[in-house]
Amino acid sequence: MTDAVILVGGRGTRLGKITKKTPKPLIRIENKRFLDILLARIIHYNFKNIYLLCSYKKNIFFKLYHNKIIHNSKITCIDEGSQMDTGGALYKIKNIIKNNFFLLNGDSFFDIDYKLLPKLLCKNSIGSIAIANNRSYKLNNKINNINISKSNFLFFSKSKTKFMNGGVYFFKKKIFKYIINKKISLENEILPTLIENKKIKGFFFKTKFIDIGIKKNLNFLKKNPNFLKQKAIFLDRDGVINELINNNYVKNINEFKFLPGVFKAINLINKFNYRTIIITNQACVGKSIISETKLCQIHNFMTKKIIQKNGIIDDIFYSTYFKFSKLKKYRLNSFNRKPNPGLLIKAIKKWNININKSLFIGDSITDFKAAKKINLNFVYKSDKSLFNQVKNLLTNEKNYKKSF
């Protein structure tokens, strides 16, 4: 995936005293910064670089995020200087961005499939915008009263419409031809002209959108933090993804044999917008049967095969712990080894997971016990195809079996 840019420089004046010391993107929802919630969602797309355009309270952003690696993305903070508004801020990265890129508002949440926006572009277009429903934003005047043609080009309507800007964009690099080094609004001064010239396309998403710059919305999120959380299906590896080797371990890629229905099952999990996360004990590393490098090679082989079948594994959490390991580092972190829930807790925190809408599919009592300790829904892997089991679960969530 290409790079992403997040606008985090605004003062948030609509929130009054709330943002006097804390920038909008750093307001906490259930003890988690809003920006961290946003990052937990977009790391799914494996952006190589994520740039934060900072101005108001910029030192806080630099301290928390500059040069940090989150999942597979490097975070870089860019000093906007004095506030240049959304258009002028982009000028600061004109010579940094090398290819097409995504742009996001750091104070709004839109639960969409980002991959659809690049697909809209054609030879004559410069960018595409995720369009949201405007039922709840009567006073919004940033790219409001717009409509979408049959060919997905945006145009302004003389009458009121249900469409509004959702604050997620995909731009060709040529957008910088229209960005100048002065305080200027992308939404109010640059994009309207491009829309009138039929250079911008749009896609309407029915999914949830919320702007935290409004006190009513912020109060709603503080009372309903699950609105922002993702759902996940956690999978054990051996016995669920690949065949078990009796009384032994998978030691190389030749011994890694996929079980029936795995590829189709993961495709279905992805389609239902669940994060797909593997939780696995691998004491073979602690026992010096294989190296951690070899384990990573096996996991790379596994994920590449799944990608070849159009599936995605979002993350893999593994425990190399072994009580009697010759190496000290593998005698540490016993809480990560199932039946302890350490790996699950780490995954839930990193990906901002709603455990009430998630579940763990495993094949052993240790998997069951780990899930039970954090009250996570659990089902045992059936003897049949994983696809058939997942299909039954996802098409009828009542089939989640709380076995405890």
C-alpha–C-alpha distance, residues 214 and 208, integer Å? 16
DSSP 310-345: T----EEEEE---TT-SSGGGGS-GGGSTTS-HHHH
Q: Which two tokens stand for residue 64?
A: 């928390």
* DSSP β-ladder status, 154-156 and 315-319: unpaired
User: How many other C-beta atoms can be found within 10 angstroms of the C-beta atom of residue 321?
Assistant: 23
Burial of 246 (0-12, 13-18, 19+ CB in 10 A): exposed
User: How many other C-beta atoms can be found within 10 angstroms of the C-beta atom of residue 254?
Assistant: 8
Residues annotated as catalytic are 236, 238
Chain centroid, CA 349 distance in Å: 13
C-alpha–C-alpha distance, residues 146 and 158, integer Å? 9
Cβ atoms of 201 and 126 closer than 8 Å: no
